[in-house]
Structure 1
Amino acid sequence: MLRVGAHESIASGVHKAVNRQLEDGGNCGQIFTTSPRVWKDPDIAEEDVEKFRELSDENDVGPWVIHSSYLVNLCTPKEDLREKSIASMQKEVDAAARLGIPYVNVHLGAHTGAGVDQGLDNAASALDELDIPDGVTVLIESDAGSGTKLGGDFQHLADVLDRCDQDLDVCLDTAHVFAAGYDLSTPAAVDETMQEFDDVVGIEHLRCVHLNDSKHECGTNKDEHALIGEGLIGEDGMRAFINHEMIRDVPLVLETPTEDGKGFAWNIERVKELRE
């Protein structure tokens, strides 16, 4: 069964994300538990938790993913930022357990001069400080790889999984993968990129895909999402990826823009049309 949905708002209550997902035609999805641009803990009332769980179960919407704050930087050499990042992640995994959400997604962040190897060590050791509840898994997201950000290279993902004592998995973002230099624009390119991911990281670790087209060329390290099939990955690449045997059972979550009157509902329908 195709699992495709979008990153939905929790405005007026986290349970409202389920209603929005259904309106958009999705059956899985992603949320922020609070504003991702400030250090703020999730504040979700128990009644809202129960409504979210009930609506998701009744309508077979899931799995859900919590996306961590944009401020989290697991790779940082700065102790104060590291401590804030760990504390924020702990709140997110605890919120996931309350909501019955199986995944918390996080970017590795930037090493800001500490070096790639030290940055990866920092990330692994920060994740090891988390007390992750049963039933919740942290997903490391692939990155576009600009500046000193880590996660653009598949080897970065594999190294963190190897160095961390936690049981971690991975979320691939198609726009990020493309921007980082892994081509997805043709069926042959999709085959090659997915085989490399399997060889380096292991396809068994792929638990979620952020499905986005890209407004920039492959290898530019520029992270700007486009509508499905209307960016530089394009329709042929998106069709090949959506139907690739390695990801057919992986939930697809859209973080596409709203442009030309085309929002999440249009993009979800486009994915369904491209699925063979």
Structure 2
Amino acid sequence: MRIGAHVSSAGGHHLVFERGRAIGAEAVQLFISAPQQWKLPACTGEQIAAFNAAREKHALPAFFHGVYLMNFGSPDEGMLERSMASLRSYMHFAGLMGVAGTIFHVGSHLGAGFSDTMARRIGGMLLDVLNDEPANPSLLILENNAGQGNCIGGHFGELGALIRAMDNHPRAAICIDTCHAFSMGYDLATEDGCQSAMAEFEQEIGFSRLAAVHANDTKQPLGTFRDRHENIGEGHIGLAGFRTLMAHPAFRDVPFLLEVPGFDGAGPDVKNVQRLKKLRRELAIDGPKLPRIPSTKKPK
């Protein structure tokens, strides 16, 4: 289990590795374009070479996070085209830059409701992205959401439906955000709740598809459908809750990526990283491993 963090790429994408090392991160996540803008990333050959050199020097796996504007549930063709272009670009550069995968939010059904027809439509678009570059080993990683705003993928069943609609592509994977899951009513903080939640995940998706965890405590109580990240141990999941979920075997070989506000308000920091590492030591969980690549086994 690696303990990592989302890191600023200001001044150069290659700087995330040095910044990650400075806070003790064992994996990094970054944006390669402004997350609230449609402008496509434009990484030059020199920038790609610098990123790859830094990645190899520091030996840290990297993940991209896609822009927040994408919405594959929209009926608007212009929105779908922009979403496809953005995700295609991120996946293209992920392949060139040795990135483990691109984590992204599927979007909102805008009140239409999530249906088999919508799942097939979205799955077909995402499958097109994967089939653009068959030799690209980078993963396409769907993230669960907190249930707000008619968003798609709050329930594990919806994510499973999308994976099946992608023909169970071997590069289709899932990231569980602990804050989002807790807000949706998945009580990962208690042993019974965690066992129940992960049994549902295994049934609907399969543990082999779990590629990353966004490790975030939450400012909001269980089942409130609100996405409000908190520092580890300071929210409603708490240190005991993270100890419980980290002990579950589904998470043993999965990187944990912090997206917390930080104790100084500047994002993931040493104190948050150390809190998760301390829990890892107490649970006698193995340290850094390479990110797990989903198998070709079809989900149950």
TM-score between the two structures when normalised by the length of structure 1: 0.95
Q: CA deviation at 1:128?
A: 2.3
Q: CA deviation at 1:51?
A: 2.0
User: For residues 113 and 127 of structure 1, what CA distance do their matches in structure 2 show?
Assistant: 21
Q: 1:170 is matched with which residue?
A: 174
Of the three residues 198, 205, 209, the one matched with 2:209 is 205
Amino acid at match of 2:56: D
Q: Is 1:156 the equivalent of 2:150? A: no
Q: CA deviation at 1:247?
A: 0.6
Q: 1:24 is matched with which residue?
A: 23
User: For residues 264 and 12 of structure 2, what CA distance do their matches in structure 1 show?
Assistant: 28
2:232·2:239 contact (CA, 8 Å) conserved in 1? Answer: yes
Greater relative contact order (Cα < 8 A, sep 6+): 2
1:187·1:236 contact (CA, 8 Å) conserved in 2? Answer: no
1:77·1:114 contact (CA, 8 Å) conserved in 2? Answer: no
Q: CA deviation at 1:188?
A: 2.6
Q: Which whole-Å deviations, capped at 9, do the CAs of 1:204-255 have from their partners, x for residues lacking one? A: 1101110101110111110010111111011111111122211110011010
Q: 2:59 is matched with which residue?
A: 60
Q: 1:143 is matched with which residue?
A: 145
Q: Is 1:98 the equivalent of 2:102? A: no
Which secondary structure does the structure 2 equivalent of 1:66 belong to?
Answer: strand
Q: 1:50 is matched with which residue?
A: 49
Amino acid at match of 1:146: Q
Which secondary structure does the structure 2 equivalent of 1:171 belong to?
Answer: strand
User: For residues 205 and 128 of structure 1, what CA distance do their matches in structure 2 show?
Assistant: 16
User: For residues 190 and 121 of structure 1, what CA distance do their matches in structure 2 show?
Assistant: 29
Amino acid at match of 1:239: R
Of the three residues 233, 237, 245, the one matched with 1:233 is 237
User: For residues 118 and 181 of structure 2, what CA distance do their matches in structure 1 show?
Assistant: 20
> Structure 1: which 5+ residue stretches go unaligned?
none
User: For residues 111 and 145 of structure 2, what CA distance do their matches in structure 1 show?
Assistant: 18
1:28·1:251 contact (CA, 8 Å) conserved in 2? Answer: yes
1:77·1:119 contact (CA, 8 Å) conserved in 2? Answer: no
Q: CA deviation at 1:187?
A: 2.4
RMSD over aligned CA atoms reads 1.5
Amino acid at match of 1:258: G
1:8·1:29 contact (CA, 8 Å) conserved in 2? Answer: yes
How many residues align? The count is: 274
Moved more, 261-270 or 166-175: 261-270
Q: CA deviation at 1:171?
A: 0.6
Moved more, 4-13 or 185-194: 185-194
Which secondary structure does the structure 2 equivalent of 1:50 belong to?
Answer: helix
CA 126–239 in structure 1, closer or farther in 2 if over 3 Å, else same: same
Q: Which whole-Å deviations, capped at 9, do the CAs of 1:80-105 have from their partners, x for residues lacking one? A: 10011001111000110111102011
Amino acid at match of 1:211: A
Q: 2:81 is matched with which residue?
A: 83
2:38·2:69 contact (CA, 8 Å) conserved in 1? Answer: yes
> Structure 2: which 5+ residue stretches go unaligned?
284-300
CA 55–179 in structure 1, closer or farther in 2 if over 3 Å, else same: same
Which secondary structure does the structure 2 equivalent of 1:56 belong to?
Answer: helix
